[in-house]
Amino acid sequence: MHNLERNTVIRARGLSKIYREGATELRALQEVDLDVRAGELTLLMGPSGSGKTTLLSILGCILRASAGTLELLGEEVSALPETELPRIRRDAIGFVFQGFNLFPTLTATENVALALDVRGHRGAAAKKRAEELLAEVGLAQKARSFPADLSGGQKQRVAIARALAGDPPILLADEPTAALDSTSGRAVIELLQKLARVHGRAVVMVTHDPRVLPFGDRIIQLEDGRIVQGETSLADTLEKSPFLEPPTGEQISQVLSI
């Protein structure tokens, strides 16, 4: 497991992303500077179209920035050839998606084992490791269940177990609680927080969900492709968990200075 030092594992400088279609040009991201440290849960927030998912995709090396540089674990990746990016994703990054993106024809164990298979780990050892990961997310008893037989929260926990398959220092989550009820959402966010604080991973999470605010160590606010408010901590600000008592819009606005 990675050390608990608050070292920077993601360093982005001047990241821009421009989508072009004919003469039309859309600036999805503009001159974004960002440092993400291990052991922290970083929340990326902002209205729809603000560039959150674009930024997450670039940080996850599945989208190329139009300009700027990106360092992951000290390696400059923005200049790497396309063929090198799958290696970076396998070795450094775990993804958690809003829609879970589990493989419906595979059991929970097989879904996790598939992520190990992609990394070249197969056979009984891979199966055992997949079962261990499911146990870590509290789903040992659902190891043989297919996604269709799991609740939303359970599916997301399987997805998190799958994201952990490569033991990545970076976890990128795209609205992981959006499709979940409050109880399941709380379980998932607590798990992600634990993965950051206890296991020392850098967790970056795109969210619209105000209930997760108290769990974030840092909040990055995006608007029109720019960071308009960075380095805000809500966890210390709100004393009560929003899952027990959701924050009011006024509270959030105050904190984010919107």
Partner 1 sequence: MGLLARRNLFHDKVRFAVTLTGIVFALVLIIIQFGLFLGFTTTTSNNIDHSNADLWVVFHGVGYFDTGRNFSERKYYEVLSTPGVERAEKYMQAFGRWKRPDGRVENIQVIGFHPGSGLGEPWNVVQGSVADLKEEDSVFVDELYREKLGVEKIGDRVEIGDHRARVVGFTRGIRSFTTSPFVYATFKSSLDYTNPASSEDSTAYILVKASPGVSPAALQKRLHDRLTDVDVYTTAEFSRKTRFYWMFTTGAGLAVLTAALMGLVVGVAVVAQTIYAATMDHIREYGTLKAMGATNRYLYRVLMEQAVWSAVLGYGLAMIVAHFIVQASEKGGAIILMPWSMSLGMLVLAVVMCIAAALVSINKVTRIDPAMVFRG
Kindly state the DSSP code that residue 45 receives in the 8-state scheme. E
- Sheet harboring 8-21: ordered strands across? 24-37, 8-21, 67-72, 75-76
Binding mask 208-227 for partner 1 (x = CB under 8 A): --------------------
CB nearer partner 1, residue 7 or residue 101: 101
Three-state SS at 136: helix
For residue 19, state whether it binds partner 1 (rule: CB under 8 A).
no
Only segment of 103-111, 131-139, 190-198, 213-221 that touches partner 1 (CB under 8 A): 103-111
For residue 90, state whether it binds partner 1 (rule: CB under 8 A).
yes
CB nearer partner 1, residue 32 or residue 234: 32
CB nearer partner 1, residue 111 or residue 193: 111
- Sheet harboring 202-206: ordered strands across? 93-96, 170-174, 202-206, 41-45, 218-223, 226-232
Segment 167 to 186, residues that bind partner 1, using CB under 8 A: 174
Strands 8-21 and 67-72: antiparallel
Residues near partner 1 (CB under 8 A), total = 31
For residue 46, state whether it binds partner 1 (rule: CB under 8 A).
no
> For residue 91, how many other CB atoms are within 10 A of its CB?
16
For residue 128, state whether it binds partner 1 (rule: CB under 8 A).
no
114 CB-near residues (< 8 Å, 6+ apart):
103, 106, 162
CB nearer partner 1, residue 67 or residue 244: 67
Compute the distance between CA of residue 257 and CA of residue 211 in angstroms, rounded to an integer.
18
**H or E stretch at 163:** helix 152-163
For residue 29, state whether it binds partner 1 (rule: CB under 8 A).
no
For residue 56, state whether it binds partner 1 (rule: CB under 8 A).
yes
For residue 95, state whether it binds partner 1 (rule: CB under 8 A).
yes
Q: Among 42, 68, 36, 51, which Cα is nearest to 225's? A: 51
CB nearer partner 1, residue 14 or residue 123: 123
Residues at the interface with partner 1 (CB under 8 A): 53, 56-57, 60, 62-63, 86-91, 93, 95, 97-99, 101, 103-106, 110, 114-115, 117-119, 162, 166, 174
